[in-house]
């Protein structure tokens, strides 16, 4: 395993207990919501209405609530995650809520799933930020049938430029090179140490999508809601009212 896989598995196995409560709330939610600002599904429209008979793969499923929301619309869902501890939580919820989601321990950059097994691949802060885009976007392309859709949400490159490897909060200063964005290592951050994450400048995301045979159907930049909210994961509400802290891609494999 490469170092980011080892570090991120260690990080998420240790962090998993802190995600149980959040996961439970999302499994219980009457309507889906996304990302750090809990942006409603009605605004982002990430989940297609008709999913009966459709096969969905979630890459980096964590506690499994996104998989659950797709299952509730009729899809057959497989969730893949690198952390055994996160999957213990996800499987516990699946038992409790009588879900038939299949949860698999694995690396979203190279799953053991067969080619063309998915009509939809989805990620919310899973592969979307924890996997190397040059590995997981080709893997998503391999999993999808022609005409299949890749839908994912994670940090915007703006937020990544406005923080650095020290682990400080996102600020109004440009703290790292936009054009060099790729791998961000917070394992030795003096403030709030984390794992190893990834992002790209927008032009490189678009080049990668084209190279892997994706058409971009939509790109959304998420603004924090108008109602004042506490800081979320090192991002202040004030900052995220002025700049996009999160991004959404909706793609089709042509």
Ligand X SMILES: C[S@@+](CC[C@H](N)C(=O)[O-])C[C@H]1O[C@@H](n2cnc3c(N)ncnc32)[C@H](O)[C@@H]1O
Residues forming contacts to ligand X in the complex (CB under 6 A) are 5, 8, 12, 19, 23, 60, 62-63, 66, 80-83, 86, 107-109, 124-126, 130-131
69: three-class secondary structure by DSSP: helix
Helix (H, G, I), strand (E, B) or coil at 101: coil
Q: Measured from the CB of residue 4, what is the shortest distance to ligand X in angstroms?
A: 8
**Quick one: how many helices (H) and strands (E) in the chain?**
10, 11
User: Within a 10 A sphere around the Cβ of 11, how many other Cβ atoms?
Assistant: 20
CB of 222 to ligand X, least distance (A): 15
Neighbouring C-beta atoms of residue 173, cutoff 10 Å: 10
Minimum CB distance to ligand X smaller for 231 or for 241: 231
Whether the Cβ atoms of residue 47 and residue 72 lie closer than 8 Å to each other? no
CB-wise, 6 or 174, nearer to ligand X? 6
CA separation for the pair 132, 192 (Å, rounded): 22
The whole-angstrom separation of Cα 67 and Cα 80 is 10
Minimum distance from CB of 174 to ligand X (Å)? 26
Which residue, 103 or 243, has its beta carbon nearer to ligand X?
103
Taking the mean position of all CA atoms in its chain, how far away is CA 112? 19
Q: How distant is the alpha carbon of residue 245 from its chain centre? A: 14
| Shortest separation between residue 97's beta carbon and ligand X, angstroms | 15
In the complex, what is the shortest distance from the CB of residue 194 to ligand X, in angstroms, rounded to a whole number? Answer: 11
Neighbours of 73 (CB within 10 A): 16
- Give the nearest residue (CB) to ligand X: 62
- Which of 119, 132 has the CB closer to ligand X? 132
* Closest CB to ligand X among residues 37, 125: 125
Q: Which C-beta is closer to ligand X: that of 15 or that of 178?
A: 15
Q: Which is nearer to ligand X, 73 or 241 (CB)?
A: 73
Closest contact distance (angstroms) between CB of 78 and ligand X is 12
Supply the minimum distance, in Å, between the C-beta of residue 126 and ligand X.
4
Q: Environment class of residue 118 by beta-carbon count within 10 Å: exposed (0-12), middle (13-18) or buried (19+)?
A: buried
Per-residue DSSP letters for 18-57? GGHHHHHHHHH-SS-EETTTTEEHHHH--S-S--TT-EEE
């Amino acid at each position: 395993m490469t170092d980011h896989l080892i570090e991120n598995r260690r990080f998420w196995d240790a962090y998993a207990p802190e995600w149980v409560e959040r996961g439970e709330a999302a499994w219980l939610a009457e309507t889906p919501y996304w990302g750090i600002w809990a942006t409603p599904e009605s605004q982002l429209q990430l989940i297609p209405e008709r999913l009966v008979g459709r096969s969905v793969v979630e890459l980096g499923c964590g506690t499994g609530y996104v998989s659950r929301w797709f299952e509730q619309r009729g899809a057959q869902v497989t969730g893949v995650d690198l952390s055994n501890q996160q999957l213990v939580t996800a499987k516990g919820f699946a038992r409790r809520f009588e879900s038939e989601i299949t949860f698999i321990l694995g690396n979203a950059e190279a799953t053991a799933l067969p080619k063309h097994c998915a009509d939809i691949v989805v990620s919310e802060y899973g592969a979307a930020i924890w996997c190397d885009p040059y590995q997981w976007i080709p893997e998503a392309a391999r999993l999808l049938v022609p005409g299949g859709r890749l839908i994912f949400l994670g940090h915007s490159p703006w937020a990544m430029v406005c923080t650095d490897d020290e682990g400080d909060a996102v600020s109004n200063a440009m703290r790292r090179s936009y054009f060099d964005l790729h791998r961000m290592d917070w394992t030795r951050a003096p403030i709030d140490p984390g794992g190893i994450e990834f992002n790209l400048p927008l032009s490189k995301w678009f080049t990668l999508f084209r190279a892997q045979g994706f058409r971009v159907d939509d790109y959304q930049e998420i603004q924090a809601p108008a109602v004042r909210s506490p800081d979320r994961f090192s991002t202040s509400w004030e900052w995220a009212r002025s700049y996009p802290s999160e991004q959404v891609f909706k793609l089709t494999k042509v």
